[in-house]
Structure 1
Amino acid sequence: MVMGVDSLAAFLTHPVTATVLLMVGIIGIALELLFFSSGLLALAGVAGFALYFLGFYLAGFTGFGDLAVFGLGLVLLILELVVPSFGILSVLGAICLFGGVIMASSDPSEAMVMLGVALLVAIVVLAFTIKRFQHRGVWNRFILREQLTESKGFTSQPDYSYLVGRTGEAITPLRPAGTAMIQGERVDVVTDGSFIPAGQAVAVTHVEGVRVVVKEATTENYG
Structure 2
Amino acid sequence: MLAAVATLQIDMFATFYFTRRLSSKGATNRSEAADENGDKEAGSIDHAEHTNHGHSHLAEASCSSSDLLRHRVISQVLELGIIAHSVIIGISLGASKDPKTIRPLLGALSFHQFFEGMGLGGSIAQASFKSKSVAVMALFFSLTTPVGIAVGIGISNVYNENSPTALIVEGILNAASAGVLIYMALVDLCVADFMSPKMKKSRRLQLWSNVALLLGMGFMSLLAKWA
Shorter-normalised TM-score: what interval?
A: under 0.3
TM-score in terms of structure 2 length = 0.26
TM-score in terms of structure 1 length = 0.26
